[in-house]
A and B are shown apart, each in its own frame.
Chain A
Amino acid sequence: MRLKWVRLLVPVGALLALALGLSSCGDDNGGGESPATTSVPKEFAPVTAAPDDAKTGGELKVLSAGDIDYMDPGGAYYTFTYQVTEAAHRTLLGWAPADVEKPTPDLAEAEPEISDDGRTMEFTIRDGVRFSPPVDREVTAADVKYAIERANLSGVANPYGQLYFSDIVGYDAARKAAADNPTGGAPVISGITTPDDKTLRIELNKPKVAIAQVIAQALSLPISAPVPEEYAKEFDAKNPSTYGQYVAFTGPYMVQNDCVDESGKVVNEDCSGELTGYTPGKEIKLVRNPNWDGEATGDFRPAYLDSIDIQEGFTDTASASRKILNGEDQVAGDFPPPKAVLQEAAQEGEPGQLQLPELPGYRHISMRTDKPPFDDINVRKAVIANSDREALRDTRGGPLIGSVATHYISPGFPGFEEAGGYEGPNLDFIADPNGDPELAAEYMKKAGFKSGKCEGSECEVSMVGDNIPPGKDTAEVFKSQLEDLGFKVDFRPVDHAIMYTKFCSVPAQEPDICPNVGVAPDFRDSQVLLAPSFSAESINPQNNTNWPMLDVPEVNKAIEKARLIGDPEERAKAWAEVDRLVSAQAPAVPWVWEYFPIIQSTDVAGVVNLYNASWDLAFTSLK
């Protein structure tokens, strides 16, 4: 897979290879001289298997710019957090490095058995899986049941449970009970039962196989990492829960706590389980879980490393990237190298130092469809028609980092081809990746602006975006494009997390435009790409994910219909139809289906997890 490069020829060779690769890809897809569609040059293709002679032992040094969101698996949701949870927890189903379409059984012995009518599903828990010290005991089905139930507590702050589990019998009642009494313990979900220690049965309100399949995939998320109730309930009685400071792990690694030393050896029998290896914003120290026996318990993770030291706070990602490339540090955790360093990595790096896994999902620029001026569909179409999406893509690295998006279902997702593939839907306003100002002017005229440009006070629009590149650059470019169309843009750059939590995900504070939002789905089902972003049901006063505030009955109806279809082919078609309906509403500018550049030093045999588009720490080894 990887090319043998002669060091001196690397810059020229890489450039030639890249140029040829990109232009040929563009030609294949009709992109012409400035290809909108690209595929990963093979020298940067992600490695998804450890080498046959992978070494065991050693410590891996990981640099990250930010912190994980929650150490508690019940709240964990960031991509970067998943790097930690994948290595430290066993969920019912898990994602092996090359898994993209469906997860692999992990804590569960096999995929769930779904009854013919789709009303019940059953998981069987593996024998011999044990919690890390101080819990030490074997995992049972009740631990998974409790993990799902406690996620309803506001103190656990799970962001997706309601999205996937509201079709479980008793889920909504339990959620309401939890909201009424946040510190009263996790209310029982009557539809989740444990007939015995090893069986977890889930009963659904709607007898639909499609719903059961989505729930099964959702149980690959950290929410299904078992939590020992007798140990956690005192922490869960607080709001917010303090379990995140005392987490019990089941994976090959655990965050160092007061029970174990840096080698994962138990040094204190009379310990509380308090995590000593996690200093928020500074460091996460993962050591081996002394109670993990992968071979005996059917774990697919080889876990070559002895320990993993994640150093946080490297916000100067350029210098952090260079430290990794020159071998001072080893892998990048949560940040891609900036464009300049990306170029250095591509031209001067050794084979394998730069890898480009596909980032599932898409980036888009949302426009608020519920208030002027973007409540007028013609204004939205004009904005999309005018936008030079290649220029937007250039802000993240140009053709190397992905294809210009033409709609919302991403490559590799069911329904992508049915929704138009790379060419996209047959809509004039999104046809030209470089923008079509004349067409934009026509749409502005249709919206009542005789000059073809936006005029008047309603054309003063607010925009909140990132305050650091590349997001800030994207926002600046889009601002310039809006100004070309006559808008006066009040751009407020803020921290990325604040952009979501204070502005774009809070409708009361949401600006007219959010230029730096994106969808990274939880698994490869088009429902999770489209429903959270465009269904009226997703509009919430807090944690809103329908940033355009789109509420179109026809779209809502199509979403409700599509989510109940189980047959894969029919389901793909149904979601493609949703995609077409959403695209026709022009609620946002989809601009890139992206590869996520990740880098490593030459002494690391990094393995990429395609599900998470990041290094899989449980498969990575040192050379």
Chain B
Amino acid sequence: MEASELREQPAVVGASAELADIDPTAIAARSPWRLFWRRFREDKLAMASLIFLVVLILVAIFAPLVVKIFGAPGPNELDGGALDPLFKNPTGPSAEHIFGVDQIGRDVFSRTIYGARVSLIVAFAATALATLAGIVTGLLAGYLRGWVDTAISRSVDVLLAIPYLLLATGLAVACGGEGGCLGGLIQPGLGVVIFVISFTSWTYMARIVRGQTLSLREKEFVEAARSVGASNTRIIFKEILPNLAAPIIVYASILIPQVILYEAALSFLGVGVTDQPSWGQMISDATPIYTTAWWYMLFPGLALLFTVLAFNLVGDAMQDALNPRAKKT
């Protein structure tokens, strides 16, 4: 294990002259995660993005406090006095409302802050569900092969053939009614959005995991485990799954920004989250009036842009850090 780690250190490998001077006992063993972190933090842009995301998560968690600190009203508080006095149109940034107000006098700053909650909850929950579903189905298909593989793979093919936004819109409408869907398991609101997004997002993860599993199950260490009588469950969870960590993490990190945009798109189409502020819904509401109320589209738009960008940069850096050889090529 230590030897392989050393092989991955270009500063050490090949520097045989210096190597001779190093006291072997002084070389500290580093876990793969420490190595990952060491490589990741070399990417300054990714680090900045990570800091941004940590701040964003904290802001979302402590949204009421943040809003209070800035002296802004709650996201659903109406300030009719802030509307244009004659036509009752939204007004722009001012001392009272630093991001301006929307068409019914709600504070855009406050709504943008609270909107982060929806984006992040949906992003993490839907990605987690989609990832879990993808791992389970991919592992089963790749390891068991045969009719299980055929059934899962064809199901994935069918799902991928359906325009996902159309499917999601249909599901959101079907589940958005009173009583929800799946016997009430999926209730209207945030739950529907998370369900719809994860239902249409697990397929790529399943394909990736299946492909990797098909390859891993033929490796010597799996053969070795099988030869000493390890059960299928043990092989899957102890031998194969740990080796899938890198691709799973990389794809999940790519999935998060996609899910955020997905949620925004659903909200924009009017089938997303409606009972609390969300960036997509704000952008949708701002669309007819963006020429006169630019602030209403700009601030949630920027929040969405920077969040997705940050997740993408972090995802790229994670991919590079987990797979340094790929980076070099």
Contact = CB atoms under 8 A, between A and B. Distances in A.
Given A338-B288, A394-B104, A469-B288, A343 B89 contact: yes
B86 A398 contact: yes
A460 interface: no
B87 A397 contact: yes
B80, B291, B292, B293 pick with most chain A CB within 10 angstroms: B80
Contact of A340 (B78, B85, B177, B291): B291
B238 interface: no
A490 B275 CA distance: 8
A277 B88 CA distance: 40
A491 B274 contact: yes
Interface in B241-285: 270, 274-275, 285
A137 interface: no
B83 interface: yes
Contacts of B87: 339-340, 342-343, 346, 397-398, 400
- Among B76, B178, B288, residue most surrounded by chain A Cβ atoms (within 10 Å): B288
Contacts of A289: none
A316 B289 CA distance: 11
Contact of A18 (B86, B188, B287): B86
A390 B275 CA distance: 23
B188 to A, nearest CB: 7
A398 B88 contact: yes
B212 interface: no
B275 A491 contact: yes
A397 B88 contact: yes
A493 to B, nearest CB: 6
Given A340-B291, A343-B84, A469-B103, A493 B270 contact: yes
A593 B84 CA distance: 21
B80 A390 contact: yes
Contacts of B89: 339-340, 343
Contact of A317 (B177, B285, B288, B293): B288
A278 to B, nearest CB: 28
B80 A340 contact: no
B292 A394 contact: no
Nearest to A479: B76
B300 interface: no
Nearest to A474: B104
Contacts of B288: 316-319, 338, 340, 469
Contacts of B77: 480
Nearest to A396: B88
A492 B285 CA distance: 16
B79 to A, nearest CB: 10
A395 interface: yes
B289 A340 contact: yes
Nearest to B288: A318
Contact of B289 (A318, A490, A491): A318
Contacts of A339: 87-89, 103, 289
A79 interface: no
Contacts of A343: 84, 86-87, 89, 292
Contacts of A271: none
Contacts of A476: 104
Contacts of A490: 188, 275
Contacts of B100: none
A31 to B, nearest CB: 14
B178 A483 contact: no
Interface string B167-209: 0000000001110000000001000000000000000000000
Interface in A1-57: 15, 18-19, 22
A22 B275 CA distance: 35
B83 A394 contact: yes
A358 interface: no
A317 B84 CA distance: 21
Contacts of B104: 391, 394-395, 473, 476-477
Contact of A469 (B85, B188, B285): B285
24 contacts: A318-B289, A338-B289, A343-B87, A343-B89, A388-B80, A391-B78, A391-B80, A391-B104, A394-B88, A394-B105, A395-B88, A395-B104, A397-B87, A398-B87, A399-B86, A469-B103, A476-B104, A480-B76, A480-B78, A491-B274, A492-B177, A492-B274, A493-B270, A493-B274
Given A469-B103, A491-B274, A493-B274, 16 more contacts: A338-B288, A339-B87, A339-B89, A340-B87, A343-B87, A344-B292, A397-B88, A400-B86, A467-B270, A468-B270, A476-B104, A477-B78, A480-B77, A490-B275, A491-B275, A492-B188
